[in-house]
C-alpha cells in the first residue's frame, strides 16, 4: 500500500466520482483508476460501487476509510513537522490555550523556557476547550492549557499548573473602589457584563439562583478584550479570573469576590505519545513552578 493510493482513495470519497477525484489530485483518470484497483487487490475486495450519479463506498470501503484517513493525516503532520524542523532547525511545540486564560501568569514562564531552550519553536493556538481537545486528539496540538469543569479520564493526562480566584472587575471611577472585598449580592445592583466563554458561567448562575440573586446582563460578549474595554468605559462590571487582568492597566480595578468565593484550576492536558517529548516535559515543569 502506497501513500498516493490512499490519497486517491480519499479524493474519490470526498468528490464522489472518479473523474472529479482525478481532477482534484491532478492525475489522469486511468492512473487514478489503476491505483484504486491495485489498492482493492491488496485489501481483498471492491472499495466503491459505481452508478450513474457517481460512486458509493462499499461495506469494505466504509470499514477502511477512517483508518486510511488517520494514516494520511498523520503522514501529512509528520511531513509538515519535518519540513519546519529542517528549514528552521528547531523543534516545534504546538500549545493550545483556552480562550479565557490570560497571559499574565504564563508569559513569564514561557519567556524563561525560551531562554533555556532557544531551539524550540512554539505555536500558540487560542480556542474553546472542546475545539482544543479535538485538535489534541488529532495530534495537531502537543499540549492544551485549560480549566476543565468535568473529569477527563484516559487517554488524557493532567498536570496542575495553578489555581486562580474570580474577582469583581470595574473601572477606576466605580464606587466599588472604596471596598476591600465585594459580596456577590452587591453585584446585582450593577449593570453586569456577561462573559459567554466563561467555563464557570453555569456554576455562577446556579450560585446566584440559590442565593436569590438576579444578575442583569447589560451586555454579553464571547471576547475577553471586549468585556475589558466595556469595563474601562464604565459600562458595567464583570466577574473574571484574576490572572486575566494586566497589572499595568490603571483604568481597571478589581476586588476579590466573597459570598461565595469562586475559583478555578488550570491544567496542562496532554496524551501519549506526545507526553514523552522531553522538550514538552521541560515546558510543563516550568509552567507548574508556581503551583
**CATH code assigned at 196:** 3.40.190.290
pLDDT number for residue 39:
92
C-alpha cell at 244: 486575566
pLDDT tens sequence across 163-202:
888 899 999 999 998 998 888 888 888 898 988 888 778 7
Task: Count Cβ atoms below 10 Å from residue 93 Cβ, excluding itself.
Answer: 21
Helices (H), 160-232: 184-187, 201-210, 224-232
pLDDT in tens, the chain (291 residues): 888 899 999 999 988 888 888 888 888 989 999 999 999 999 999 999 888 777 889 999 899 999 998 888 888 878 777 766 665 555 578 899 988 888 778 888 888 888 777 777 788 888 888 888 888 888 888 889 998 888 877 788 888 888 888 899 999 999 998 998 888 888 888 898 988 888 778 778 888 888 888 877 878 888 888 989 999 999 999 988 888 887 777 889 999 888 788 888 999 888 876 555 777 878 877 776 544
Query: For residue 63, what is the domain's CATH number?
Result: 1.10.10.10
Q: Which long-range contacts (CB under 8 A, 24 or more apart) does 77-81 make?
A: 77/139, 77/140
| Residue owning grid cell 445592583 | 189
pLDDT number for residue 290:
42
pLDDT number for residue 112:
82
Residues 134 and 274 in one domain: yes
Residue 150 lies in domain: 87-162+265-290
pLDDT number for residue 291:
40
Residues 277 and 246 in one domain: no
Q: Is the peptide bond before 273 cis (omega within 30 degrees of 0)?
A: yes
The alpha carbon dihedral of 209, 210, 213, 215 has a sign of negative
Is residue 190 domain-resident? Answer: yes
Q: What is the DSSP letter of 237?
A: B
Total of domains in the chain: 3
Residues 12 and 62 in one domain: yes
Of the three residues 72, 101, 120, the one that is the final residue of a domain is 72
Residues 139 and 282 in one domain: yes
Cβ-count burial 131-164 (b if 16+ within 10 Å, e if not): ebbebbeebebbbbbbbbeeebeeebebbebbeb
pTM tops 0.95:
no
Is residue 239 domain-resident? Answer: yes
Amino acid at each position: 500500500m502506497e501513500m498516493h493510493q490512499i490519497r486517491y482513495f480519499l479524493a474519490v470519497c470526498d468528490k464522489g466520482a472518479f473523474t472529479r477525484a482525478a481532477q482534484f489530485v491532478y492525475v489522469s483518470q486511468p492512473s487514478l483508476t489503476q491505483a484504486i484497483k491495485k489498492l482493492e487487490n491488496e485489501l481483498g475486495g471492491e472499495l466503491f460501487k459505481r452508478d450513474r450519479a457517481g460512486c458509493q463506498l462499499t461495506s469494505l470501503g466504509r470499514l477502511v476509510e477512517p483508518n486510511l484517513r488517520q494514516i494520511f493525516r498523520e503522514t501529512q503532520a509528520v511531513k509538515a513537522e519535518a519540513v519546519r524542523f529542517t528549514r528552521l532547525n528547531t523543534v516545534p511545540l504546538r500549545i493550545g490555550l483556552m480562550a479565557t486564560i490570560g497571559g499574565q501568569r504564563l508569559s513569564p514562564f514561557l519567556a524563561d523556557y525560551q531562554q533555556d531552550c532557544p531551539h524550540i519553536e512554539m505555536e500558540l493556538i487560542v480556542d474553546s476547550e472542546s475545539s482544543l481537545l479535538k485538535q489534541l486528539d488529532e495530534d495537531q496540538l502537543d499540549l492544551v492549557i485549560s480549566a476543565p469543569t468535568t473529569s477527563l479520564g484516559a487517554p488524557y493526562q493532567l498536570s496542575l499548573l495553578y489555581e486562580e480566584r474570580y474577582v469583581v472587575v470595574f473601572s477606576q471611577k466605580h464606587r466599588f473602589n472604596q471596598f476591600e472585598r465585594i459580596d456577590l449580592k452587591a453585584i446585582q445592583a450593577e449593570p453586569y457584563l456577561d462573559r459567554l466563554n466563561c467555563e464557570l458561567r453555569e456554576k455562577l448562575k446556579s450560585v446566584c439562583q440559590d442565593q436569590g440573586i438576579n444578575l442583569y446582563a447589560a451586555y454579553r460578549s464571547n471576547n475577553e478584550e471586549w468585556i475589558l474595554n466595556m469595563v474601562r468605559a464604565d459600562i458595567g462590571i464583570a466577574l473574571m479570573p484574576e490572572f486575566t487582568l494586566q497589572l499595568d492597566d490603571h483604568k481597571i480595578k478589581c476586588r476579590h469576590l466573597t459570598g461565595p468565593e469562586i475559583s478555578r484550576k488550570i491544567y496542562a492536558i496532554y496524551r501519549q505519545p506526545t507526553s514523552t517529548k522531553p522538550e514538552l516535559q521541560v515546558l510543563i515543569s516550568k509552567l507548574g513552578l508556581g503551583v
